[in-house]
Amino acid sequence: MAHTLKTRTDLTGKVVAITGGARGIGRSTAAAFVARGAKVVIGDVDLELVEKTAAELGAPVGAEIVGLPLDVTDRSSFAAFLDEAEVLFGPLDVLVNNAGIMPTGLYAEESDAMTDRMIDINVHGVLNGSKLAAQRFVARGEGHLVNVASLAGINPAPALATYCGTKHFVLGFTESLHRELAEHGVGVTAVLPGVVRTELSAGAKVPGWAEGLSTVDPEDIAETIVDVVGTGKMRAICPKALGRTIKVAALLPERGRLRFERMTRFDQAFTSADPAARAKYHARITGAGK
């Protein structure tokens, strides 16, 4: 018999684990859960930064948050991360698979190492966390898994081929898992951000007319993530206006849609991105700069 998931407005005392929690969307999401009274564990490959982030977010009296090392591509590392979270705070209630990278450039010029790294983090990382969380949640008959996908997964763009492919996978995988786990009382939601004002999209040349429509702050995504916990939502888009625009555009014939993108220069957001800003980001995610 299927369980009915109810909106959880009170997150006080709930145990939440967030991947890629040292910066960007992960950090903002941790702050949003802490503000709602949750006990939060953030994981990141950058141990020094994730510990610093946890200390900063845990400054308010009563806040409970800790930063732990985590390599989402390593199943044993992920299992150890969740085990430690439960030792510290108790049974896991929510896992947010947020860790991801978005290098840009033409696919034919993309190194094999970069392609593999993107797939390892964006795909294998989500698979690892989802399986480990699902096993815990199903055994208890409750819990919520949130996988951060992207609107790029349904509205692909040049210079993002591999990234769009990974996010298309995350969306399809998450919506399938949603159907599998609903009968066990477990929520599974894919959150699809637009262009988020973080280092990940630094240097993007979003057309002026689309700035307000497609660009959001990490805090906006964080609130979307918090709001879906405990609900039966399968997909949540932020900003909603961009999601509606993409749906309408999808009704156009393919030639018309591509012509519109060229006329508005929306297809040049990453093909003409600021090379210096992208180079700095690429250096960090490959370990060449930190």
Which sequence positions are flagged as catalytic?
163
Q: How would you classify residue 173: left for phi > 0, otherwise alpha for psi between -120 and 50, otherwise beta?
A: alpha
| 286 close to 116: Cβ distance less than 8 angstroms | no
DSSP code string of the chain = -PPPP------TT-EEEEESTTSHHHHHHHHHHHHTT-EEEEEES-HHHHHHHHHHHT-STT-EEEEEE--TT-HHHHHHHHHHHHHHHSS--EEEE-------S-GGGS-HHHHHHHHIIIIIHHHHHHHHHHHHHHHHT--EEEEE--GGGTS--TT-HHHHHHHHHHHHHHHHHHHHHGGGT-EEEEEEE-EESSGGGTT----GGGHHHHEE-HHHHHHHHHHHTTS--SEEEESHHHHHHHHHHTTS-HHHHHHHHHHHTGGGTTTT--HHHHHHHHHHHTTS--
What residues contact residue 87 under an 8 Å CB cut-off, 6+ apart?
A: none
| 32 close to 225: Cβ distance less than 8 angstroms | yes
Q: Which of 225, 115, 110, 108 is nearest to 165 (CA)?
A: 115
Other CB atoms closer than 10 Å to residue 25's CB: what's the count? Answer: 28
